[in-house]
């Protein structure tokens, strides 16, 4: 073989490795979505955007709960969106005196921002609290 053919073969191998880089990274890291990344890489890797998305996804850190398999509950874990418990709490009361708070509520009632029923409920809560 001539040096031109060897150079061409090495160039084609380098291009193939770069093209498959997202898939290689995903499989080496044991990413739960490695097969989906493989499909995206094969189908859309020819576009710069598809290749970039596949590479970014392959490099993205994945939270793996200890008791769940590596693919999440569904086996795909496509969006890596593990459910999180959210606790709603009331905001702390504004630091003001009861008189200032009653004046503020009355002003909101006069402006039409509060209905009479809302005003009465907030007033009762303020006085009772």
pLDDT in tens, 1-33: 688 899 999 999 999 999 999 999 988 888 888
Are residues 70 and 104 both part of a single domain? no
| pLDDT cut 90: percent of the chain above it | 33
pTM > 0.75: yes or no? no
Domain span at residue 1 reads 1-82
How far is residue 79 CA from its own chain's centroid?
Answer: 7
Are residues 12 and 67 both part of a single domain? yes
Q: How many domains does the chain have?
A: 2
Is 16 within the bounds of a domain?
yes
Instruction: Give the separation between CA 62 and CA 36, rounded to whole angstroms.
Output: 15
- Cα atoms in the Cβ-side hemisphere of radius 13 Å centred on 13: 6
Instruction: Give the separation between CA 48 and CA 27, rounded to whole angstroms.
Output: 21
State mean pLDDT over 58-64: 72
Instruction: Give the separation between CA 18 and CA 23, rounded to whole angstroms.
Output: 10
Which DSSP symbol is given to 73? T
- Written as six digits, the tokens of 71 are 């693919």
43, 37 Cβ separation under 8 angstroms: no
Are residues 61 and 116 both part of a single domain? no
Is 29 within the bounds of a domain?
yes
Is 66 within the bounds of a domain?
yes
Query: Does 33 or 66 have the greater pLDDT score?
Result: 33
Which DSSP symbol is given to 33? T
- Written as six digits, the tokens of 61 are 């850190």
Is 91 within the bounds of a domain?
no
Q: How confident is the model at residue 71 (pLDDT cuts 50, 70, 90)?
A: very low
Are residues 115 and 69 both part of a single domain? no
Is 109 within the bounds of a domain?
yes
Are residues 64 and 109 both part of a single domain? no
Instruction: Identify the pLDDT of residue 1.
Output: 64
Query: Does 87 or 39 have the greater pLDDT score?
Result: 39
Is 7 within the bounds of a domain?
yes
């Amino acid at each position: 073989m001539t040096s031109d053919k060897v150079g061409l073969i090495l160039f084609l191998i380098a291009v193939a490795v770069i093209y498959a880089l997202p898939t290689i990274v995903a499989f080496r890291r044991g990413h739960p979505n490695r097969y989906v990344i493989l499909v995206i890489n094969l189908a859309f890797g020819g576009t710069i955007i598809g290749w970039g998305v596949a590479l970014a996804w392959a490099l993205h850190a994945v939270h793996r709960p200890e008791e769940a398999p590596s693919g999440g509950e569904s086996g795909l874990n496509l969006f890596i969106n593990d459910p999180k418990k959210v606790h709603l709490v009331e905001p702390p009361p504004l630091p003001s005196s009861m008189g200032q708070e009653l004046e503020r509520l009355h002003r909101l009632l006069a402006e039409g921002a509060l209905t009479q029923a809302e005003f009465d409920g907030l007033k009762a809560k303020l006085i009772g609290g």
